[in-house]
Amino acid sequence: MRIAIAQALALLAFASGVGCTEQVAPSAGKGKTEATKPRSQPRAMPPAVPSGIKIPCAQLVSAELLAPLVGREVEIQDVSNLEADATSICRLKTTGKRPTASQQARLEAKTGGAMGVLPGDELCQISAYCWWHVDEAELGAKCKAAGDTVTNDVGDVGCVRAVQAGEKFRHVVTTIDPDTRCRIVVNGGPSVTELEVVKTCARAALQTIGPEQIKVQ
C-alpha cells in the first residue's frame, strides 16, 4: 500500500514538472521574438518643395513688400536658372535714373571711390533652398566649423561669411525661414560692402516669405 502511494506521488511530481516546463518555454520564445523584431523607422517629413521644382521670383518675393523693409525702391530679377539646386534665386535691383558717366566720376572723386549702391545696381540676391529640411543646430555647427560667424540677429540662427573684395569685404548671410523651413542665402550686390545691408535683405526675406509663397502651382 505504501509502495503504491509512493509511486502515485512520484507520477504526480513528474507530471507537474512537465507542465511547468511547457508553461515557461512559450514565454521565453515570445520574449526572443519581440527582442529581434525590427523597429519601424519614423517617416521623414516631406520637403517643402520637391527637388528640381522652381518657384518663380514673382511668387516668392514682392518688390512692393520688400521696398519699405530694405529702405529702397527695388525691382526683382529672376535668375533661378543659375543654380540647379536652388528653388529660387532673386536679385533685388534698385530703381531710378542711373547717373551718367560724368556724374559717376564726380561722385567717385567726392566719396573716394565709395559710391555705394546706385540706381540700377544690385542691392542683394536672395536664394531659397526648400527641398530639404534644415536644422538650426546643424547650421550653427557648420557655420562654426567653416570659420564663419554665428549671429542671432537674423532669424533664430544666422551665419555670416566674409569674402574679401580688394581692401574691403563682401558678405553672405545664411539663415532658416521658420515658417517654410527653407534655407535662405543672401549675397550682397557687387558694390555692397556693408554687412548691415545684407542682413536687412535677409530679414526682409524672412518677413515676406511664407507657405503661400512656396506653394507649388
| Domain co-membership, 9 together with 110 | no
| Domain co-membership, 120 together with 200 | yes
Share of the chain above pLDDT 70, in %: 72
| Domain co-membership, 16 together with 63 | no
| Domain co-membership, 167 together with 137 | yes
Residue 52, domain member (yes or no): no
| Domain co-membership, 106 together with 3 | no
pLDDT value at residue 108:
66
- Is 104 a residue whose pLDDT tops 70? no
The average pLDDT across 34-50 equals 59
| Domain co-membership, 93 together with 195 | yes
pLDDT value at residue 111:
57
Residue 201, domain member (yes or no): yes
Provide the domain count of the chain: 2
Residue 208, domain member (yes or no): yes
The helix (H) or strand (E) run that includes residue 8 is: helix 2-36
Reported as a pLDDT band with limits 50, 70 and 90, residue 216 is very high
Contacts of residue 30, Cβ cutoff 8 Å, sequence gap at least 6: none
| Domain co-membership, 139 together with 71 | yes
Look at 199 and 119; give whichever has higher pLDDT. Answer: 199
Domain that holds residue 135: 57-214
The gap between the terminal CA atoms of the chain, to the nearest Å, is 96
d(CA 72, CA 121): 12
- pLDDT single digits (tens) 12-32: 444 444 444 444 444 444 444
Reported as a pLDDT band with limits 50, 70 and 90, residue 46 is confident
The average pLDDT across 173-185 equals 95
| Domain co-membership, 63 together with 26 | no
> Which residues pair with residue 122 across a beta bridge?
93
pLDDT value at residue 182:
95
| Domain co-membership, 108 together with 146 | yes
pLDDT value at residue 155:
94
Residue 16, domain member (yes or no): yes
Contacts of residue 18, Cβ cutoff 8 Å, sequence gap at least 6: none
- pLDDT single digits (tens) 69-96: 999 999 999 999 999 999 999 999 999 8
The average pLDDT across 42-54 equals 78
Contacts of residue 174, Cβ cutoff 8 Å, sequence gap at least 6: 139, 143, 158, 159, 161, 183, 184, 185, 186
Residue 204, domain member (yes or no): yes
| Domain co-membership, 66 together with 9 | no
When the pLDDT of each residue in the chain is averaged and rounded to a whole number, the result is 81
Residue 44, domain member (yes or no): no
Q: Are 69 and 204 in contact (CB under 8 A)?
A: yes
| Domain co-membership, 89 together with 125 | yes
| Domain co-membership, 78 together with 181 | yes
Residue 113, domain member (yes or no): yes
Contacts of residue 86, Cβ cutoff 8 Å, sequence gap at least 6: 80, 127, 128, 129
Q: What is the residue type of 57? A: C
Residue 50, domain member (yes or no): no
